[in-house]
Amino acid sequence: MKRFFTVALAVAATLALAGAAFAQMGGPGRMWGGGMGPDPGMMGGAGQFGCPGAAGYAQQHGAAQISEEQAKELAQQYADQYLTGFKVDKVLPFAGRGGAMCSMEMQGPDGQVRTLHVNPWGNVMPFGGPSRCAG
C-alpha cells in the first residue's frame, strides 16, 4: 500500500509540473502559432507582435518598410506634435518580428530623455506601447 501511494504521488507531481509548463507556453496555439510551426494563423501568428492580421494587411496593401531616415523624420514629427522641444538624439536600429525597426532617443530642452519606437511601416509610439502617455 505504501508503494502504491509513493508511485501515485510521483505520477501526480509529474502531471502537475507538466501542466504548469504547458500553461506557461500558452497552450497549443502558442506552440505552433508563434512562427515556429506549420500554421502561422493560430494564436501569436505571423503578424507583428503576435497580431495575425498585421502581416496580412501589410502584404495586401503593399506597405513597404521604411528606411532609417524616414523613421527619423516620423519620430521628429511625432515629437513636434506631442513632445515640444524634443529633438532626435540617437537612432538605434534593431530587428523585430515584422522587419527592421528603430528606437529613437529624444533629447529634451532641459536634458530630459524620451524613447520612441518606429515600426517597419512607420507607426511611432512611445517606449512601453501605445497606452503610455507622452510628455
**pLDDT tens-place string over residues 4-40:** 889 888 888 888 887 777 667 655 544 444 444 444 4
Please give the torsion angle defined by the CA atoms of residues 32, 36, 37 and 41, in that order, rounded to the nearest 10 degrees: 60
Give residue 129's pLDDT: 56
Range of the domain at 22: 2-45
The answer on 73 and 41 residing in a single domain is: no
Question: With 80 as the cut, is the pLDDT of residue 123 above it?
Answer: yes
Question: With 80 as the cut, is the pLDDT of residue 89 above it?
Answer: yes
The total of other beta-carbon atoms located within 10 Å of residue 123's CB is 15
55 in a domain, yes or no? no
14 in a domain, yes or no? yes
In angstroms, how far is the first alpha carbon of the chain from the final one? 68
Lowest mean pLDDT among 56-60, 79-83, 106-110, 115-119: 56-60
Let me know: does 25 contact 42? Beta carbons within 8 Å: no
Q: Which residue is associated with the grid cell 523624420? A: 73
Lowest mean pLDDT among 27-31, 64-68, 72-76: 27-31
Give residue 99's pLDDT: 82
Which has more confidence, 130 or 43? 130
Which has more confidence, 71 or 62? 71
51 in a domain, yes or no? no
The whole-chain average pLDDT of the chain stands at: 74
Which has more confidence, 124 or 15? 124
Residues contacting 31, CB < 8 A, separation 6+: 25, 37
Give residue 25's pLDDT: 63
Number of domains in the chain: 2
* Residue 102 to residue 122: CA distance in whole angstroms: 10
Handedness of CA 86, 129, 61, 38 (dihedral sign): positive
79 in a domain, yes or no? yes
Give residue 106's pLDDT: 93
31 in a domain, yes or no? yes
57 in a domain, yes or no? no
96 in a domain, yes or no? yes
